[in-house]
Amino acid sequence: MGLSVDMKIVVNGVSAKSGGAATYIQNLVESVSRLGEDYEFVFCVPEGFAPRQPNGIGARIVESSVGRQSAWRRLWWDQVTLRALVRKEKADVLVSSSDFGLLLPPCKQVLLLRNALFFSRLYMRQFLPRKSLRNRVDFWMRHWLVRLSVRRADVIVTATASMLSEAREFVSVPPGKAVINPFGVPLSRFRPTVKASREGFRLLHVSEYADYKNLGTLLEAMRILARREDGDAHLTTTADPTQFPDVEIPGRDTDALLAREAVQTGNVTFVGGVPYSEISVLYTQSDAFIFPSLVESFGHPLVEAMASGLPVIASDIPVHREVCGEAALYFNPLDPEALADVVTQIRGNSALRMRMAITGRERAAALFDWTEHVRRLAEMLRNVCV
Protein backbone atom coordinates (compact mmCIF):
# COMPACT_ATOMS: atom_id res chain seq x y z
CA MET A 1 0.00 0.00 0.00
CA GLY A 2 2.90 2.33 0.76
CA LEU A 3 2.36 6.08 0.77
CA SER A 4 -0.70 5.85 -1.45
CA VAL A 5 -3.01 4.83 1.40
CA ASP A 6 -5.22 7.70 2.54
CA MET A 7 -7.84 5.75 4.52
CA LYS A 8 -7.36 2.92 6.97
CA ILE A 9 -10.37 0.92 8.12
CA VAL A 10 -10.45 -1.61 10.96
CA VAL A 11 -13.29 -4.14 10.66
CA ASN A 12 -14.30 -5.95 13.84
CA GLY A 13 -15.62 -9.36 12.79
CA VAL A 14 -14.43 -11.56 15.66
CA SER A 15 -17.94 -12.89 16.28
CA ALA A 16 -18.44 -13.90 12.62
CA LYS A 17 -18.09 -17.62 13.30
CA SER A 18 -20.83 -18.91 10.99
CA GLY A 19 -23.96 -18.05 9.08
CA GLY A 20 -24.60 -14.71 7.43
CA ALA A 21 -22.03 -12.88 9.57
CA ALA A 22 -19.21 -15.18 8.40
CA THR A 23 -20.43 -14.98 4.80
CA TYR A 24 -20.38 -11.19 4.97
CA ILE A 25 -16.82 -10.96 6.31
CA GLN A 26 -15.54 -13.58 3.84
CA ASN A 27 -17.06 -11.76 0.87
CA LEU A 28 -15.79 -8.40 2.10
CA VAL A 29 -12.22 -9.68 2.52
CA GLU A 30 -12.29 -10.91 -1.06
CA SER A 31 -13.63 -7.63 -2.40
CA VAL A 32 -11.56 -4.88 -0.82
CA SER A 33 -8.57 -5.32 -3.13
CA ARG A 34 -10.80 -4.05 -5.95
CA LEU A 35 -11.35 -0.72 -4.20
CA GLY A 36 -7.88 0.49 -5.13
CA GLU A 37 -4.78 1.49 -3.20
CA ASP A 38 -6.47 4.37 -1.41
CA TYR A 39 -7.94 1.92 1.10
CA GLU A 40 -6.27 -0.34 3.64
CA PHE A 41 -8.38 -2.75 5.69
CA VAL A 42 -7.46 -4.57 8.89
CA PHE A 43 -9.90 -7.42 9.57
CA CYS A 44 -10.27 -8.82 13.09
CA VAL A 45 -11.65 -12.32 12.55
CA PRO A 46 -12.24 -15.56 14.48
CA GLU A 47 -9.27 -17.83 15.08
CA GLY A 48 -8.94 -20.31 12.22
CA PHE A 49 -10.72 -18.04 9.75
CA ALA A 50 -9.36 -18.94 6.32
CA PRO A 51 -10.06 -16.18 3.81
CA ARG A 52 -9.73 -17.04 0.15
CA GLN A 53 -8.04 -13.63 -0.20
CA PRO A 54 -5.00 -13.94 2.11
CA ASN A 55 -3.06 -11.07 3.65
CA GLY A 56 -1.94 -8.84 0.83
CA ILE A 57 -3.16 -5.98 -1.27
CA GLY A 58 -6.03 -4.25 0.44
CA ALA A 59 -6.36 -6.39 3.56
CA ARG A 60 -4.54 -7.67 6.63
CA ILE A 61 -5.94 -10.34 8.93
CA VAL A 62 -5.79 -10.33 12.74
CA GLU A 63 -7.15 -13.52 14.34
CA SER A 64 -8.73 -13.81 17.77
CA SER A 65 -10.46 -16.60 19.72
CA VAL A 66 -12.50 -14.16 21.82
CA GLY A 67 -15.68 -14.84 19.84
CA ARG A 68 -15.80 -18.32 21.41
CA GLN A 69 -15.08 -17.16 24.95
CA SER A 70 -17.31 -15.85 27.72
CA ALA A 71 -19.42 -12.73 27.35
CA TRP A 72 -17.23 -10.90 29.84
CA ARG A 73 -14.04 -11.71 27.91
CA ARG A 74 -15.77 -10.56 24.72
CA LEU A 75 -16.81 -7.32 26.44
CA TRP A 76 -13.21 -6.69 27.56
CA TRP A 77 -11.90 -7.38 24.04
CA ASP A 78 -14.51 -5.13 22.43
CA GLN A 79 -13.99 -2.19 24.78
CA VAL A 80 -10.28 -2.41 25.72
CA THR A 81 -8.24 -4.64 23.41
CA LEU A 82 -9.96 -3.46 20.23
CA ARG A 83 -9.66 0.18 21.25
CA ALA A 84 -5.90 -0.25 21.73
CA LEU A 85 -5.65 -1.95 18.31
CA VAL A 86 -7.56 0.86 16.60
CA ARG A 87 -5.29 3.47 18.19
CA LYS A 88 -2.17 1.51 17.26
CA GLU A 89 -3.30 1.19 13.65
CA LYS A 90 -4.20 4.91 13.55
CA ALA A 91 -7.45 3.93 11.89
CA ASP A 92 -9.68 6.52 10.27
CA VAL A 93 -12.82 4.40 10.66
CA LEU A 94 -13.85 1.41 12.76
CA VAL A 95 -16.51 -0.84 11.25
CA SER A 96 -18.18 -2.88 13.98
CA SER A 97 -19.83 -5.56 11.87
CA SER A 98 -22.10 -7.31 14.38
CA ASP A 99 -24.20 -5.07 16.63
CA PHE A 100 -21.67 -4.32 19.41
CA GLY A 101 -19.48 -1.24 19.07
CA LEU A 102 -16.87 0.69 21.00
CA LEU A 103 -18.47 2.89 23.63
CA LEU A 104 -15.49 5.30 23.57
CA PRO A 105 -14.21 5.02 19.99
CA PRO A 106 -10.95 6.83 19.20
CA CYS A 107 -12.07 7.39 15.60
CA LYS A 108 -15.23 7.49 13.53
CA GLN A 109 -17.34 4.36 13.98
CA VAL A 110 -19.80 2.59 11.66
CA LEU A 111 -22.06 0.03 13.35
CA LEU A 112 -23.81 -2.75 11.40
CA LEU A 113 -27.05 -3.92 13.02
CA ARG A 114 -27.60 -7.47 11.81
CA ASN A 115 -28.96 -9.51 14.73
CA ALA A 116 -32.71 -9.01 14.51
CA LEU A 117 -33.35 -10.87 17.78
CA PHE A 118 -32.39 -7.81 19.83
CA PHE A 119 -35.27 -5.85 18.31
CA SER A 120 -37.86 -8.55 17.66
CA ARG A 121 -40.94 -8.35 19.83
CA LEU A 122 -42.00 -11.75 18.48
CA TYR A 123 -38.77 -13.31 19.75
CA MET A 124 -39.09 -11.58 23.11
CA ARG A 125 -42.69 -12.75 23.45
CA GLN A 126 -42.51 -16.27 22.03
CA PHE A 127 -38.98 -17.60 22.59
CA LEU A 128 -37.23 -15.64 25.33
CA PRO A 129 -39.63 -16.59 28.18
CA ARG A 130 -38.80 -20.28 27.57
CA LYS A 131 -35.09 -19.69 28.18
CA SER A 132 -33.31 -20.17 31.50
CA LEU A 133 -32.91 -17.19 33.83
CA ARG A 134 -29.21 -17.02 32.95
CA ASN A 135 -29.96 -16.80 29.24
CA ARG A 136 -32.67 -14.18 29.75
CA VAL A 137 -30.32 -12.01 31.80
CA ASP A 138 -27.61 -12.44 29.16
CA PHE A 139 -30.04 -11.42 26.42
CA TRP A 140 -31.13 -8.24 28.16
CA MET A 141 -27.53 -7.30 28.97
CA ARG A 142 -26.64 -7.67 25.28
CA HIS A 143 -29.78 -5.79 24.29
CA TRP A 144 -28.71 -2.89 26.51
CA LEU A 145 -25.16 -2.93 25.08
CA VAL A 146 -26.48 -2.90 21.52
CA ARG A 147 -28.68 0.11 22.26
CA LEU A 148 -25.74 1.88 23.88
CA SER A 149 -23.56 1.01 20.87
CA VAL A 150 -26.15 2.59 18.56
CA ARG A 151 -25.98 5.82 20.51
CA ARG A 152 -22.17 5.93 20.39
CA ALA A 153 -21.74 5.14 16.69
CA ASP A 154 -21.47 7.82 13.99
CA VAL A 155 -23.40 5.81 11.39
CA ILE A 156 -25.82 2.89 11.74
CA VAL A 157 -26.12 0.48 8.81
CA THR A 158 -28.87 -2.08 8.27
CA ALA A 159 -29.45 -4.34 5.29
CA THR A 160 -33.21 -3.72 5.18
CA ALA A 161 -35.64 -0.95 6.02
CA SER A 162 -37.61 -3.51 8.07
CA MET A 163 -34.63 -4.10 10.36
CA LEU A 164 -34.12 -0.36 10.84
CA SER A 165 -37.80 0.11 11.63
CA GLU A 166 -37.72 -2.58 14.31
CA ALA A 167 -34.55 -1.12 15.86
CA ARG A 168 -36.19 2.32 16.07
CA GLU A 169 -38.89 0.87 18.29
CA PHE A 170 -36.23 0.48 21.01
CA VAL A 171 -33.62 3.17 20.34
CA SER A 172 -33.54 6.53 18.60
CA VAL A 173 -31.75 6.50 15.24
CA PRO A 174 -31.96 9.94 13.59
CA PRO A 175 -32.46 9.90 9.79
CA GLY A 176 -29.03 11.44 9.16
CA LYS A 177 -27.37 8.67 11.14
CA ALA A 178 -29.03 5.72 9.40
CA VAL A 179 -27.96 4.03 6.17
CA ILE A 180 -29.75 1.11 4.49
CA ASN A 181 -27.27 -0.87 2.40
CA PRO A 182 -28.57 -4.28 1.23
CA PHE A 183 -25.84 -6.88 1.67
CA GLY A 184 -26.32 -8.79 -1.57
CA VAL A 185 -24.33 -11.81 -2.76
CA PRO A 186 -21.62 -12.40 -5.40
CA LEU A 187 -24.01 -13.01 -8.30
CA SER A 188 -21.38 -14.75 -10.46
CA ARG A 189 -21.41 -17.70 -8.03
CA PHE A 190 -25.16 -18.21 -8.18
CA ARG A 191 -26.42 -18.71 -11.71
CA PRO A 192 -29.41 -20.57 -13.10
CA THR A 193 -28.69 -23.98 -14.60
CA VAL A 194 -30.70 -26.40 -16.68
CA LYS A 195 -32.29 -28.83 -14.22
CA ALA A 196 -31.37 -32.45 -14.79
CA SER A 197 -34.25 -34.87 -15.24
CA ARG A 198 -35.06 -36.52 -11.91
CA GLU A 199 -37.89 -38.00 -9.93
CA GLY A 200 -39.83 -36.01 -7.38
CA PHE A 201 -39.83 -32.34 -6.46
CA ARG A 202 -36.58 -31.21 -4.82
CA LEU A 203 -36.86 -28.58 -2.08
CA LEU A 204 -33.92 -26.77 -0.48
CA HIS A 205 -33.51 -25.06 2.89
CA VAL A 206 -30.20 -23.30 3.63
CA SER A 207 -29.86 -22.11 7.21
CA GLU A 208 -28.41 -22.92 10.63
CA TYR A 209 -30.31 -24.51 13.47
CA ALA A 210 -31.90 -22.09 15.93
CA ASP A 211 -35.34 -21.79 17.51
CA TYR A 212 -36.34 -18.72 15.49
CA LYS A 213 -35.26 -20.42 12.23
CA ASN A 214 -38.46 -22.47 12.56
CA LEU A 215 -37.16 -25.86 11.39
CA GLY A 216 -39.98 -27.62 13.25
CA THR A 217 -42.69 -26.05 11.07
CA LEU A 218 -40.76 -27.08 7.94
CA LEU A 219 -40.42 -30.69 9.13
CA GLU A 220 -44.10 -30.80 10.08
CA ALA A 221 -44.96 -29.60 6.56
CA MET A 222 -42.80 -32.36 5.05
CA ARG A 223 -44.70 -34.92 7.15
CA ILE A 224 -47.99 -33.55 5.79
CA LEU A 225 -46.68 -33.67 2.21
CA ALA A 226 -45.58 -37.29 2.64
CA ARG A 227 -49.20 -38.28 3.35
CA ARG A 228 -50.61 -36.65 0.21
CA GLU A 229 -51.20 -38.46 -3.07
CA ASP A 230 -48.46 -36.50 -4.82
CA GLY A 231 -46.17 -36.83 -1.82
CA ASP A 232 -42.89 -37.17 -3.71
CA ALA A 233 -41.43 -33.89 -2.44
CA HIS A 234 -37.96 -34.22 -0.95
CA LEU A 235 -36.21 -31.66 1.23
CA THR A 236 -32.47 -31.08 1.58
CA THR A 237 -31.54 -28.89 4.55
CA THR A 238 -28.30 -27.64 6.07
CA ALA A 239 -30.04 -27.14 9.44
CA ASP A 240 -30.06 -29.96 11.97
CA PRO A 241 -31.16 -30.20 15.62
CA THR A 242 -27.75 -31.70 16.46
CA GLN A 243 -26.01 -28.42 15.55
CA PHE A 244 -24.70 -26.12 18.32
CA PRO A 245 -25.41 -28.53 21.20
CA ASP A 246 -24.13 -26.00 23.76
CA VAL A 247 -26.81 -23.46 22.79
CA GLU A 248 -29.99 -23.59 24.85
CA ILE A 249 -32.92 -24.26 22.49
CA PRO A 250 -36.04 -25.36 24.39
CA GLY A 251 -37.69 -26.93 21.32
CA ARG A 252 -34.66 -28.99 20.33
CA ASP A 253 -36.03 -32.35 21.54
CA THR A 254 -39.27 -31.93 19.58
CA ASP A 255 -37.34 -30.95 16.44
CA ALA A 256 -35.03 -33.93 16.91
CA LEU A 257 -38.01 -36.32 17.01
CA LEU A 258 -39.39 -34.77 13.81
CA ALA A 259 -35.96 -35.05 12.20
CA ARG A 260 -35.63 -38.75 13.05
CA GLU A 261 -39.10 -39.43 11.66
CA ALA A 262 -38.24 -37.53 8.47
CA VAL A 263 -35.08 -39.57 7.96
CA GLN A 264 -37.06 -42.80 8.42
CA THR A 265 -39.69 -41.60 5.96
CA GLY A 266 -36.94 -40.76 3.50
CA ASN A 267 -38.26 -37.38 2.40
CA VAL A 268 -35.65 -35.23 4.19
CA THR A 269 -31.86 -35.22 3.88
CA PHE A 270 -29.76 -33.41 6.49
CA VAL A 271 -26.43 -32.39 4.97
CA GLY A 272 -25.13 -30.22 7.82
CA GLY A 273 -22.92 -27.20 7.34
CA VAL A 274 -21.67 -26.74 3.79
CA PRO A 275 -18.68 -24.46 2.99
CA TYR A 276 -19.77 -21.27 1.30
CA SER A 277 -17.55 -22.06 -1.70
CA GLU A 278 -19.65 -25.20 -2.30
CA ILE A 279 -23.13 -24.00 -1.37
CA SER A 280 -24.11 -23.02 -4.93
CA VAL A 281 -24.19 -26.72 -5.90
CA LEU A 282 -27.20 -27.28 -3.63
CA TYR A 283 -29.16 -24.62 -5.49
CA THR A 284 -28.43 -26.21 -8.88
CA GLN A 285 -29.80 -29.53 -7.61
CA SER A 286 -33.12 -28.07 -6.42
CA ASP A 287 -36.50 -27.07 -7.85
CA ALA A 288 -37.63 -24.60 -5.16
CA PHE A 289 -36.29 -22.92 -2.05
CA ILE A 290 -37.99 -22.68 1.37
CA PHE A 291 -37.13 -20.16 4.10
CA PRO A 292 -39.44 -20.50 7.15
CA SER A 293 -37.64 -18.16 9.61
CA LEU A 294 -39.69 -16.20 12.11
CA VAL A 295 -37.00 -13.53 12.62
CA GLU A 296 -34.41 -12.26 10.13
CA SER A 297 -32.53 -9.05 9.39
CA PHE A 298 -31.83 -9.86 5.72
CA GLY A 299 -31.51 -13.51 4.66
CA HIS A 300 -28.55 -14.15 2.35
CA PRO A 301 -29.97 -17.52 1.17
CA LEU A 302 -33.07 -15.78 -0.18
CA VAL A 303 -30.92 -13.77 -2.58
CA GLU A 304 -28.76 -16.78 -3.42
CA ALA A 305 -31.90 -18.73 -4.34
CA MET A 306 -33.31 -15.90 -6.48
CA ALA A 307 -29.99 -15.46 -8.27
CA SER A 308 -29.92 -19.22 -8.91
CA GLY A 309 -33.31 -19.10 -10.60
CA LEU A 310 -35.26 -20.90 -7.87
CA PRO A 311 -38.81 -19.94 -6.95
CA VAL A 312 -38.90 -19.01 -3.27
CA ILE A 313 -41.39 -20.04 -0.58
CA ALA A 314 -40.90 -17.76 2.42
CA SER A 315 -42.52 -17.13 5.77
CA ASP A 316 -44.68 -14.03 5.71
CA ILE A 317 -42.60 -11.51 7.66
CA PRO A 318 -41.75 -7.93 6.58
CA VAL A 319 -38.06 -8.59 5.89
CA HIS A 320 -38.84 -11.44 3.49
CA ARG A 321 -41.39 -9.38 1.55
CA GLU A 322 -38.87 -6.53 1.33
CA VAL A 323 -36.14 -8.80 -0.03
CA CYS A 324 -38.17 -11.08 -2.32
CA GLY A 325 -41.15 -9.03 -3.43
CA GLU A 326 -43.07 -10.94 -6.13
CA ALA A 327 -40.30 -13.52 -6.51
CA ALA A 328 -41.73 -15.51 -3.57
CA LEU A 329 -44.95 -17.07 -2.32
CA TYR A 330 -45.57 -16.48 1.37
CA PHE A 331 -47.12 -18.56 4.16
CA ASN A 332 -48.06 -18.21 7.81
CA PRO A 333 -44.85 -19.35 9.56
CA LEU A 334 -46.83 -20.93 12.42
CA ASP A 335 -48.97 -23.08 10.12
CA PRO A 336 -47.26 -26.17 8.60
CA GLU A 337 -50.44 -27.03 6.67
CA ALA A 338 -50.26 -23.63 4.94
CA LEU A 339 -46.63 -24.29 4.00
CA ALA A 340 -47.50 -27.72 2.60
CA ASP A 341 -50.30 -26.13 0.55
CA VAL A 342 -47.90 -23.60 -1.00
CA VAL A 343 -45.44 -26.39 -1.90
CA THR A 344 -48.27 -28.30 -3.58
CA GLN A 345 -49.35 -25.15 -5.43
CA ILE A 346 -45.91 -24.34 -6.78
CA ARG A 347 -45.10 -27.96 -7.58
CA GLY A 348 -48.15 -28.28 -9.82
CA ASN A 349 -47.69 -25.05 -11.76
CA SER A 350 -44.61 -24.96 -13.99
CA ALA A 351 -45.63 -21.62 -15.52
CA LEU A 352 -45.74 -20.06 -12.04
CA ARG A 353 -42.31 -21.48 -11.22
CA MET A 354 -40.86 -20.08 -14.45
CA ARG A 355 -42.37 -16.64 -13.83
CA MET A 356 -41.06 -16.55 -10.25
CA ALA A 357 -37.61 -17.69 -11.39
CA ILE A 358 -37.36 -14.88 -13.94
CA THR A 359 -38.62 -12.31 -11.44
CA GLY A 360 -36.15 -13.53 -8.82
CA ARG A 361 -33.15 -13.37 -11.13
CA GLU A 362 -34.04 -9.86 -12.24
CA ARG A 363 -34.60 -8.74 -8.66
CA ALA A 364 -31.31 -10.19 -7.44
CA ALA A 365 -29.37 -8.50 -10.25
CA ALA A 366 -31.10 -5.13 -9.77
CA LEU A 367 -31.03 -4.88 -5.97
CA PHE A 368 -28.58 -7.35 -4.45
CA ASP A 369 -25.32 -7.29 -6.41
CA TRP A 370 -22.50 -7.67 -3.89
CA THR A 371 -20.21 -5.41 -5.95
CA GLU A 372 -22.74 -2.61 -5.56
CA HIS A 373 -22.92 -3.19 -1.81
CA VAL A 374 -19.14 -2.76 -1.51
CA ARG A 375 -19.21 0.34 -3.71
CA ARG A 376 -21.89 1.91 -1.51
CA LEU A 377 -19.97 0.89 1.62
CA ALA A 378 -16.76 2.55 0.34
CA GLU A 379 -18.67 5.72 -0.52
CA MET A 380 -20.26 5.77 2.92
CA LEU A 381 -16.87 5.33 4.62
CA ARG A 382 -15.55 8.29 2.63
CA ASN A 383 -18.49 10.41 3.72
CA VAL A 384 -17.99 9.46 7.37
CA CYS A 385 -14.46 10.88 7.27
CA VAL A 386 -15.45 14.17 5.66
Higher per-residue confidence, 161 vs 32: 161
Side-chain-side CA neighbours of 312 within 13 Å: the count stands at 33
Confidence check: pLDDT of 126 > 60: yes
Per-residue DSSP letter, 202: E
Q: Are residues 91 and 217 both part of a single domain?
A: no
Confidence of residue 197 (pLDDT cuts 50, 70, 90): low
Q: Are residues 234 and 251 both part of a single domain?
A: yes
> What's the pLDDT score for residue 195?
64
Q: What is the average per-residue pLDDT within 150-179?
A: 95
Q: What is the average per-residue pLDDT within 221-239?
A: 90
d(CA 48, CA 119): 31
> What's the pLDDT score for residue 243?
94
For CA atoms 322, 325, 327, 333, the dihedral sign is: positive
Q: Report percent pLDDT > 90 for the chain.
A: 72
Confidence of residue 373 (pLDDT cuts 50, 70, 90): very high
Q: Give the CATH number of the domain where residue 18 resides.
A: 3.40.50.2000
d(CA 31, CA 378): 11
Q: C-alpha 28: how far from its chain's center?
A: 14
Q: Are residues 157 and 197 both part of a single domain?
A: no
Q: Are residues 27 and 164 both part of a single domain?
A: yes
Question: Tell me, what amino acid is at 158?
Answer: T
Confidence check: pLDDT of 111 > 50: yes
Q: Are residues 46 and 163 both part of a single domain?
A: yes
Q: Judging by beta carbons within 10 Å of its beta carbon (0-12, 13-18, 19+), is residue 36 exposed, middle or buried?
A: exposed
- Paired sense of beta strands 312-315 and 39-46, if any: unpaired
| Segment 44-94, tens digit of pLDDT | 988 877 655 555 556 888 888 887 777 788 889 889 999 999 999 999 999
Q: Are residues 359 and 374 both part of a single domain?
A: no
Q: Are residues 172 and 193 both part of a single domain?
A: no
d(CA 192, CA 307): 7
Higher per-residue confidence, 42 vs 69: 42
Confidence check: pLDDT of 113 > 90: yes
Higher per-residue confidence, 366 vs 98: 366
d(CA 209, CA 5): 42
d(CA 246, CA 154): 35
Q: Give the residues across from 180 on adjacent strands.
A: 158
Confidence of residue 1 (pLDDT cuts 50, 70, 90): very low
Q: Are residues 342 and 198 both part of a single domain?
A: yes
Q: Are residues 200 and 306 both part of a single domain?
A: yes
Q: Are residues 330 and 276 both part of a single domain?
A: yes
Confidence check: pLDDT of 121 > 70: yes
CB atoms near residue 160 (< 10 Å): 22
> What values do phi and psi take at 203, rounded to 5?
-105, 150
The segment with the largest mean pLDDT, out of 172-186, 193-207, 323-337, is: 323-337
> What's the pLDDT score for residue 51?
59
Average pLDDT, the chain: 90
| Segment 209-219, tens digit of pLDDT | 999 999 999 99
Q: Judging by beta carbons within 10 Å of its beta carbon (0-12, 13-18, 19+), is residue 78 exposed, middle or buried?
A: buried
Q: Are residues 224 and 363 both part of a single domain?
A: yes
Of 295, 293, 225, 304, nearest in space to 262 by CA = 225
> What values do phi and psi take at 337, rounded to 5?
-65, -40
> What's the pLDDT score for residue 226?
92
Question: Tell me, what amino acid is at 211?
Answer: D
> What's the pLDDT score for residue 19?
75
Q: Are residues 122 and 268 both part of a single domain?
A: no
Residue range of the domain that includes 247: 187-367
